[in-house]
A and B are shown apart, each in its own frame.
Chain A
Amino acid sequence: MTPVTSRGFGRLTLDVRQNLPAWKQAVFVGSSLILGLAISVAILAVAGIPPLTLASELAGVLTAENLRGVLIQAAPLILVGLGASLAFRIGFWNLGIEGQMVFGGIFAAAISIYDIGPPATRLILMGMAAALGGALWVLLVVFLKLRFRVNEIIATLLLNYVAMYFLFHLLYGAWQDSKTAFPQSTPFRPFERLTDIGYGVNTGLLIALGGVLAAGWMIHLSRIGFYTRFISANPRMAKVVGVPVQTATIWIIAISGACSGLGGFVNVASQEGRLTQSFANGYVFSGVLIAFLSRNDPIVVAIVGFLIAVLFITGQTLQVFYQIPFTMVQMIEAIIVMTVASSEFLIRHRIRWIR
């Protein structure tokens, strides 16, 4: 028997890297991002969108008049990204973002439909209701996880379908706008809508940026942020030294759900101005992607959220003018996550060829 290594062509081995300089890490992540985008462009080219057309569409999205649409779209995406990143920070896979958005939208719409509170404070009330709706919907899963050890990945994903059918139940039934045949609620009144405050900036975006600052303060400066880091590093140790692990976990996840609920409200109150069937579609993986690329940092979430908004608006343009289905956006998001996640392997390991 001859040993394997003497066959002549050698073999691959992995070395574990202790650390890699920050700039090299940035090079790996950056080039993997470019690779992901290149694959996406190639797939679109095969699907009938030549790269040049794509570039001109992208340039069109970034013109002054379309930028307004991007800023409106960025608000729910940032809020959803905050929701995902807060939950991921504590090791809770909140994949129920769409369900929480739906319930945020439903709670906000309920305030409008049942005409609760004076007009002056109506929007604030709707926002609070939406946050409550999203938080309650995710707390249901928290309860199931803590009490019955139900896996939250499956539970949150399945509850998205339940929330969607509940929305359909309302929109094809009690809440359907009697003036149209479409499954939509009655439009919100003017004082129930988020409006433009100049320079293309929408009040929804202000809510999102306020959320970014609040979450940034919470994660980086407040006590609960410190607890969060402690719990995600070593929950048992945290418990032993007296960190209120369960309370902190529940609060963080509730806030995560509230962010998604607010995202639903912002989306409904700034774009369509009424509940529609599909207002929450495509946000689950967007949330995952934004949290993943921003490494769960609230401040970076704002930047990444804006970039994903550009992708969303481009996707809508391609859908309208080239009949490319909007799920294409999800495909590109998935490709980017795959390539960027793969770069972590190269950051942590060195591949060597041993003869």
Chain B
Amino acid sequence: MIDFLVNWLANAPVTAVPYALAALGLIIAERSGVLNLTAEGLMLVGALAGAGACLALGGYPAVALVAAMVAASAVSLLFAVLVVVLRINQVIAGLSVVFFCQGFTGLVGTLAKWQNKQLTGLAPLKIWPLSEIPGIGRILFQQDPIVYLTILIFFAVNFLLFRTMLGLRIRSVGENPGAADAAGVSVTLHRIFAIVAGSSLIGLAGGYISVVSVKLWVTGMTGGRGWIAVALVVFARWAPWPALAGALLFGCIEALIPQIAAAGIRVPQYLMLMTPYLATIAVMIWVGTKDSGITQEPGALGQPHVREERR
């Protein structure tokens, strides 16, 4: 029983990291007032770029993860132009980017023959002597470096959004673009920055899946995790720390599936695989039943800003 718990919880951070990073990236973009549905697609881009860089360089997972971030940011620039400059409906633009990325990554990855090739991955970072504590040590202090880095990123983004001038401007653009514009804050530039910066984290989430977690690339390997991240943002009410808590919850749920199979408990396999999606819907129902209370939903979420159209 103890073995089962330790195995399960030791895997949970690895499955939680993609959710956490993708949700955080979405929060940055949505705080600037852009409804961002692109996570699923940009994670696929990150996963492909990470795996491709790893195979091309023959290792260097850290460089591969940076490549994943850069690639996702580059593609997100397309989304930024569509919604911020051309003011396309943000749902349509987000969906187009996701399906573009699904098609494009499938095409590139297949033509480059990156499918099902073993990747080196990252060695776990043992924080000695804490890593030698029985049980707890394996769960908390023997993870790969990105797990620890994720927590640092959360601190950094929290600081950026709520303690700096740039963060204040991003939030003001999301809350009331007209007022921000009148105060001399460029809505266009801040929204583009928020999308591109957030997307680098989404790309890292995707690269983490292929390079560190699964250690190979297959078409469409994110399997809806991007949509779950979008739901997590609603669950977290656009605040970073609750998003981390939600990501841990989903990490635990996802990590449980292989453990149950490994423990020899007979549960229909494909019904088990439904659980993350059903859990997401359950969480959204829970959000809906709760009293609306304090939410940090940006006031202008989903609304394009055209200075000349102001009333």
Contacts and interface: CB of A to CB of B under 8 A. Distances in A.
Contacts of B104: 43, 331
A327 interface: yes
Contact of B270 (A155, A159, A165): A165
Interface in B77-107: 78, 82, 86-89, 91-93, 95-100, 102-104, 106-107
B284 A148 contact: yes
Contact of A151 (B88, B111, B234): B234
Interface residues of A, number: 52
| Residue of B100, B224, B289 with most chain A CB atoms under a 10 A cut-off | B100
A349 B274 CA distance: 45
Interface in A79-137: 93, 95
A206 interface: no
B37 to A, nearest CB: 7
A344 interface: yes
A41 interface: no
A324 B104 CA distance: 11
Q: Does more than half of chain B's interface fall in helix, strand or loop, or is it mixed?
A: helix
B281 A331 contact: no
9 contacts: A144-B285, A153-B37, A155-B281, A158-B224, A158-B227, A327-B107, A327-B219, A327-B220, A328-B103
Interface string A324-355: 11011111111101100110110001000000
Given A158-B224, A158-B231, A329-B103, 17 more contacts: A13-B308, A15-B308, A144-B281, A144-B288, A147-B288, A154-B284, A155-B281, A158-B281, A161-B274, A165-B270, A327-B103, A328-B103, A330-B100, A331-B106, A337-B95, A338-B78, A341-B92
Given A153-B91, A334-B96, A148 B103 contact: no
A43 B106 CA distance: 13
B230 interface: yes
Interface in B250-288: 268-271, 273-274, 277-278, 280-281, 284-285, 288
Interface string A306-335: 000000000000000001110111111111
A86 to B, nearest CB: 17
A48 interface: yes
Given A162-B277, A328-B107, A337 B96 contact: yes
Contact of A162 (B106, B107, B278): B278
A157 B100 contact: no
A237 interface: no
Interface of A: 13-16, 43, 47-48, 93, 95, 144, 147-151, 153-155, 157-159, 161-162, 165-166, 168-169, 172-173, 284-285, 288, 292, 323-325, 327-335, 337-338, 341-342, 344-345, 349
A162 B228 CA distance: 13
A93 B91 CA distance: 9
Given A144-B285, A325-B110, A331-B103, A169 B95 contact: no
B95 A285 contact: yes
A325 B274 contact: no
Contacts of B98: 334
A14 B306 contact: yes
A150 B93 contact: no
Given A151-B284, A345-B87, A328 B106 contact: yes
Contact of B88 (A144, A161, A285, A344): A344
A93 B37 CA distance: 13
Contact of A341 (B88, B231, B288, B308): B88
A82 to B, nearest CB: 19
Interface in B206-251: 219-220, 223-224, 227-228, 230-231, 234
A329 B107 CA distance: 10
A165 B281 contact: no
Nearest to A158: B277
B88 A150 contact: no
Nearest to A172: B270
A2 B219 CA distance: 55
Contacts of A95: 95
Given A15-B308, A93-B91, A345-B86, A159 B103 contact: no
Contact of A349 (B91, B96, B227, B306): B306
Nearest to B108: A47
A150 B309 contact: no
A327 B88 contact: no
B268 A47 contact: no
B307 interface: yes
Given A13-B308, A93-B91, A166-B270, A341 B82 contact: yes
A47 B110 CA distance: 10
B99 A285 contact: yes
Contact of B107 (A47, A157, A169, A334): A47
